[in-house]
């Protein structure tokens, strides 16, 4: 039996859960290569040849017939790659449509604005950085912008879930699980809907081999 097209280097309770969630949302056949972070398998030379950063996740795409191989790292990049590669899943607006611009914005807002703002909130600087040196606002302003964007909508782009919700909503769900999310009713509703998605629940339930 031929191996699935996609191989995800994965460990539970890491960012790679979001990449697994995306594979589940896309309905993409995949295999998992499990890593043990305590044992440091993500720093093994064999894996460093896949991702020199020694970080998870790393998605290996073997191509539709297994004749070539590329590696995609970083959750937002993996989500964008799969959304375009599996258009029948409906996880990204088509190029040239009005929603594509908003989709591109939110796909980068998660890792480029929301995540560093959250890091600053959890690990505050000893002294404030010059305002002109920081490209993101405080976390409360990030949440307020998402709250405003969700007004009257189920998801960031309207009534249909997209990979942008996986990137942004997945981060908010993580913050919520840490007890650090202070939000209004729209974000609270949104996070509950994110956590209820069956594909996310399947990914979250995948624990893998025990060390």
What is the chain's mean pLDDT, rounded?
A: 95
Strand partners, 33: 9
Q: What is the reported pLDDT for 1?
A: 57
Q: Which CATH architecture has domain 99-198?
A: Up-down Bundle (1.20)
Find the helix packing angle between 139-149 and 163-177, rounded to 10°: 130
Low-confidence stretches of the chain (pLDDT < 50) are: 211
Superfamily for domain range 6-91+200-205: Glutaredoxin (3.40.30.10)
Q: What is the reported pLDDT for 211?
A: 47
Per residue in 129-173, pLDDT (tens digit) is 888 899 999 999 999 999 999 999 999 999 999 999 999 999 999
Q: What is the reported pLDDT for 210?
A: 54
The full set of domain ranges for the chain reads: 6-91+200-205, 99-198
How much is the pTM?
Answer: 0.95
Q: What is the reported pLDDT for 129?
A: 87
Q: What is the reported pLDDT for 209?
A: 66
Per residue in 75-91, pLDDT (tens digit) is 999 999 999 999 999 99
């Amino acid at each position: 039996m031929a191996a699935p097209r996609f191989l995800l280097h994965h460990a539970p309770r890491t960012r790679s859960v979001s990449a697994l969630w995306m594979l589940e949302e896309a309905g993409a056949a995949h295999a998992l290569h499990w890593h043990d972070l305590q044992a440091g398998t993500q720093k093994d030379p064999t894996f460093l040849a896949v991702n020199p950063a020694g970080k998870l996740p790393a998605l290996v795409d073997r191509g539709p017939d297994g004749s070539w191989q590329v590696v995609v790292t970083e959750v937002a990049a993996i989500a964008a790659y799969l959304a375009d590669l599996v258009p029948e899943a409906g996880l990204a607006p088509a190029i040239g449509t009005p929603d594509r611009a908003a989709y591109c914005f939110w796909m980068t807002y998660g890792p480029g604005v929301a995540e560093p703002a959250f890091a600053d909130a959890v690990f505050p600087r000893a002294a404030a950085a010059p305002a002109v040196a920081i490209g993101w606002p405080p976390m409360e302003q990030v949440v307020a912008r998402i709250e405003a964007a969700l007004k009257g909508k189920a998801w960031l782009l309207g009534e249909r879930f997209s990979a942008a919700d996986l990137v942004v909503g997945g981060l908010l769900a993580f913050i919520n699980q840490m007890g650090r999310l202070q939000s209004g009713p729209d974000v609270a509703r949104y996070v509950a809907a994110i956590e209820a998605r069956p594909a996310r629940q399947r990914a979250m339930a995948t624990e893998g081999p025990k060390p």
